[in-house]
Each structure stands twice: as C-alpha cells, then as structure tokens.
A = this chain, B = another copy of it.
C-alpha cells in the first residue's frame, strides 16, 4: 500500500509517560493509540505484525497436534466458582453483572472454560492426550498498567491447554511445548529468549517456566548462574546463604541505641556489617490485618512471593499501630510478645552473635545466638537471591541478577482444575481418574513490544522479516520528477505482482521526513528510487538493520534480488528443527 494512505501519525517527540523505548517507538511510529489506562487500539502496522505473530504461533501449536478453539471473553461466574478462583483471585479478575443481575467475569485465563469444553469429551482414556488452544482477547484488571504493551489490562493471548492420563505424558508434552516456544521466539526474531523456573502463582500446579527476554527495561528479576546455567525468576529462586557457625558465642547483651531505627544506623553505631544483624520485616494479612513478623539476616530482602506461598494468603507491608505491641525500629526475636505470626528465614539458622532489636524503645541486643536464644524457631526460605550469591544447583558463588520481560509461560497444572471441576476419564479397566493438565500462554502484543525492545536503534524498531508489517519499503525521492515517479510506480507494481509486501512512499516530501518515517516503520528491506539512481538506471537496496548499501541493481534484476534478500533474512530466523 501507499504510505500516504496509511492510517496513523508518526512524530519525533517521545511522549512523557513512556518509560521504555518500545513504548515510545510504537507510539511515535503510529502503531497504537491510547484509549484508557492499560487499553490501546492497534493501528494497521501493529495489526499486521500481530497477525503474523499469531500465524507463527498457530503453525507451532498445530505442529504439536493442537486444535484451535475459541472460548468466550465473558464467562459466567459459576465456572470460576467451580474452580474456587472466583473467591481466591484478587481484583485483577474483573467481576460484573449482566442485565438480569447474573454474575459474570472477564476471562483473564481460561482453565475453567477449557475444562468445561472438554469435560464430556474427555470421559474415556482413549481420547488422550489432546491439546486445545485459542488466540483471544483477555482482560486483567492490573493495578499498575505500564510500559505500553508490556503490561496492559486488555491483551490478545494465545492460551493452550493439554490433557493427559499421566504425569509422565504431561512431562513429555511439556517438553515438546517448551521446544515449540523456543521455535516461536526464534521465528519472531528473538532467539535469545531464555526459559527460567518460575513461581506458579494463581495458576497452581507443580512446575512452571517463564520465557524471558533479558533487557534492562524488563520488570522481572531473573537469577542466573554463570557457572552451571541455573535460571529462575527471582520469585522462585532459592536463596542459599552461609553463616559463620564456629565463632565463640557471646552473651545476649542489651545495648542502649537511642534514635537508631534502621539496620544501616545500627551497623554504623555498632561498627558491624548488615550480615551481622537480624532484621524484622513486618506485614499484615490482607484478610484480617493481623501481623506477620519475618526475621531474616540484615543484608537480605524478603521475597514476598515465597512469603505469600508459605502463608497461603496475601499480605501487604504493615502499618504498625501504637497499640500493636510491636516496637517499630526495635523488633527482635527475643521476648516478642503478642499474637503475631512469627517466621524465620533460613539465613538465620545457626547464626551466632547477631545484633537485633530488643522489643524496647531505644534498645537493641548484641550476641544473639539463634539456637540458644530462639530454640523453637523453624526456618524456611523467605529471602531474595542476591548478586554473587550461592547457586542452589552447583553451589558456587556465581549468581547474577538480570532484568527480563516475560514473553511466555508454561505450567504443569496437575489435576488442580480437573479435580475441582469433576472432570474424569475411565481407564481401560473401567476405573475413574482425574486427568492432569498443562497450560501454555503467550501474549501476542507483549511479544511484539518485546521484539521492538530487543530490536531497535535510536531511530525506530528494526522488525525481523518474519513479523515486519511489510517486507519492503519503497522510497521514491523527488516524486515530483515525472520520470522518477513512473519508474518507482512500475517497480511498485512489479513487487506487488511478485507477491512481495511493499509499503510505497511516493509522497513529495524531503529525504529527512521520508527516511525518518521509514526508520519508524522499521521494514527490513528498503529500496530507493531517486533522480541519481534513475540516471544510473539502478535501484538502491539497503537493510533497515545496518542502513548500509547492500547494492545497486538494474530495474531488470532488482525484483529477483529482493526476493533473494527476503529469503536470506527468513532463513536467518529459521530455527533448527
């Protein structure tokens, strides 16, 4: 099509609310438009990209014997009540009522709908395994939508659900799906996406992985071992610490610490390191506001996902009331009185001679020896892994922390949903069982934004040819020159006849505007027709990614050369099968 007719506007200025580059570029390039908080409309270039991504996903899901279905966006609350999630999921699940007052929800994931669809079909073992998937709009009422298409409220997602008669079969299929995901990301142009162990969260189940694009713009923290290759989301990463346990125990000694409230102040006052302290972090349960006091080594931070999983309920940072019985700034594990849930991180296990609060305004203790002073403490892993920390797999001090965008996730759900929703099959002996499930998600828009984040320069996105809105961007410089324009028009026709997707810029605008628009549209192959090229009877071909001249070709040979180049670019993104 002609650029002059392309809906949407391109502009130079970065909108003030853009915190990551893909967001800014996709607004500046006319890819999308803000409608409401976390809700966007897609303009034609983005819709063309997402259609190509959807097609890649379809092909890979079909290759896994997946069958495409479509679930409703609006679901009856009763389905979510069956699984128990109508109550357990927080306000990200948008609940509403229809004209008759019947309660509904907007689908944010479709395990319930999937089970409902195949509950009868899957009644006999001979029909297993099978997988169904859809590509459909979802709504998740995020508290803090941000970063353009990275974290939105409404999004298009491919979600797949597999059903199996054994965990072994699920595991084997899960592995196939893992490979299909690698192929999808490679084909979409970001083969560097890594899978990491993840926390299953509200989905339930035993094992899950996230596919992460490592980038400083990501909102997830990823723990990586540079030695053995261990990879996990911070939420799921085990934290291993070593404490010096052969020092001479000192007595528990109160120390007057006026105006000292933080670990930093305490360390500087006592001239010790944070690792020599035991700090308290206080939360309140969302359910009843009761207090949870968590003790951990002063140099570590709380991993709230682990805390929530341990408690089996949501918490929020505490507002410590005067009458709570807690001495804010001076909370310690000895002599802590009151009906609190008290937890100990395993970084404290066996630790000697720590400084901690004395539960008395203006006082701390030194010489805290855990085994002696807190003999009943039970230790669990509640801490965040740290840079340089110990790898839980190889045991070396080789952990690094990176930021990442989650572009996909896969879960082994077990029988959580089939059991709750009474889906059973009869085996060859006539015995009933609950099938086990896997589920597999990819956000289409987020994947597009992630590719933009990973593949751009200062002037715009550099779309991989597999998902680029068009394959070729044809620029006609000085379209007011009749001969130049006629030649460019002819080339446009020829490219279209050859089945090549061309965006044709025949506007009579300056080279500056023409090329900055082309950069923002990020189309991989660029062809330039100009008075000079016409004189030399050639067309200039450049690639968006390097902007170097890849050659000048005569009008006769240019189309085959373009086809060759497209095939070459395609081949680069073909994953090994």
Binding site for B on A (CB under 8 A): 1, 5-9, 33, 35-37, 39-44, 46-48, 50-51, 65, 67-76, 78-79, 91-92, 94, 96-99, 102, 104, 106, 113, 116-118, 120-121, 127, 130, 132, 134, 136-137, 139, 141, 143, 153-154, 156
The answer for the CA separation of A91 and B1 in the assembled complex, in Å, is 41
**B residues within 8 A CB of A8?**
121
- Evaluate whether A154 and B73 lie within 8 angstroms (CB atoms) in the complex, with A8-B121, A136-B137 already known: yes
B36 lies within 8 A of A75 (CB): yes
Contacting pair A154 B74 (CB below 8 A): yes
Tell me which residues across on chain B come within 8 A of A42, comparing CB atoms. Answer: 69-70
Given contacts A35-B75, A42-B69, A47-B70, 10 further A-B contacts (CB under 8 A): A6-B67, A7-B117, A7-B121, A36-B72, A41-B116, A47-B68, A47-B69, A74-B153, A92-B99, A137-B137
Q: Do residues A65 and B106 form an inter-chain contact, with CB atoms below 8 A? A: no
With known contacts A7-B118, A99-B91, A113-B35, A137–B67 Cβ distance under 8 A: no
Given A35-B116, A65-B5, A94-B96, the answer on whether A73 and B139 have CB atoms closer than 8 Å is yes
From residue A138, how far is it (CB to closest CB) to chain B in Å?
Answer: 9
Nearest CB on B from A131, distance (A): 9
| Contacting residue for A40 out of B72, B94, B121, CB 8 A | B72
**Which residues on B sit within 8 Å (CB–CB) of A92?**
99
Residue of B nearest to A93 (CB): B99
Q: How many copies does the complex hold?
A: 2
Closest to A79 in B: B35
Does the CB pair B113–A71 fall under 8 Å? no
* A76 with B36: CB separation less than 8 A: yes
Q: Which residues of B contact A106 (CB under 8 A)?
A: 74
CB of B44 within 8 A of CB of A74, answer no
A525 to B111, CA, bound (A): 36
For A141, give its contact among B68, B99, B121 (CB under 8 Å): B99
Asked if A44 and B72 sit within 8 Å, CB to CB, the answer is no
Contact of A41 among B51, B71, B91, B153 (CB under 8 A): B71
Q: A1 to B64, alpha carbons, bound, how many Å?
A: 12
Task: Looking at the assembled complex, report how far the CB atom of A66 sits from the nearest CB atom of chain B, in whole angstroms.
Answer: 10
A–B complex contacts, Cβ < 8 Å, 18 sampled: A9-B120, A35-B116, A36-B72, A37-B102, A41-B69, A41-B113, A41-B116, A42-B70, A44-B67, A47-B70, A51-B68, A73-B73, A73-B139, A73-B154, A91-B99, A94-B96, A94-B98, A96-B96
Contact B117 A9 (CB under 8 A): no
- Identify the 3 closest CB pairs spanning chains A and B, nearest first: A96-B96, A36-B76, A42-B70
A109–chain B nearest beta-carbon distance, Å: 15
**Which residues of chain B are near A117, meaning CB under 8 Å?**
7, 33, 41, 43
Cβ B44 vs Cβ A69 within 8 A: yes
- Are B9 and A121 closer than 8 Å at their CB atoms? yes
Cα of A570 to Cα of B78 in the assembled complex, Å: 44
Q: By the criterion CB–CB under 8 Å, are B7 and A154 in contact?
A: no
A367 to B485, CA, bound (A): 81
> A69 CA to B49 CA in the complex, in Å?
11
Q: Residues of B contacting A76 with CB < 8 Å?
A: 35-36, 39
Which residues of B are found within 8 Å of A43, using beta-carbon distances? 69, 117
Chain B minimum-CB-distance residue to A445? B70
Contact in complex: A154, B41 (CB < 8 Å): no
Whether A41 contacts B74 by the Cβ 8 Å rule is no
Cα(A39)–Cα(B72), bound, Å: 7
User: Chain B residue with minimal CB distance to A7?
Assistant: B67
Alpha-carbon gap, A46 to B74, bound state (A) = 19
Known: A44-B67, A99-B141. A154 touches B72 (CB 8 A): yes
Which residues on the B side are within 8 Å of A139 (C-beta)? Answer: 73-74
Instruction: List residues of chain B with CB within 8 A of the CB of A141.
Output: 98-99
Q: Which residues of B contact A40 (CB under 8 A)?
A: 72
Among residues of B, the one whose C-beta sits closest to the C-beta of A96 is: B96
CA distance A143 to B154 in the complex (A): 26
Q: Is A5's CB under 8 angstroms from B130's CB?
A: yes
Report the bound CA distance from A506 to B20 in whole Å: 54
Q: How far apart sit A194 and B141, CA to CA, in the bound complex (Å)?
A: 43
In the complex, what distance in Å separates the CA atom of A50 from the CA atom of B135? 13
Name which residue of chain B comes closest to A112, CB basis: B35
Pick the most buried of A33, A97, A132: most chain B CB atoms within 10 A of its CB.
A33
List, in ascending order, chain B residues with CB within 8 A of A37's CB. Answer: 102
Nearest residue, chain B, Cβ from A131: B7
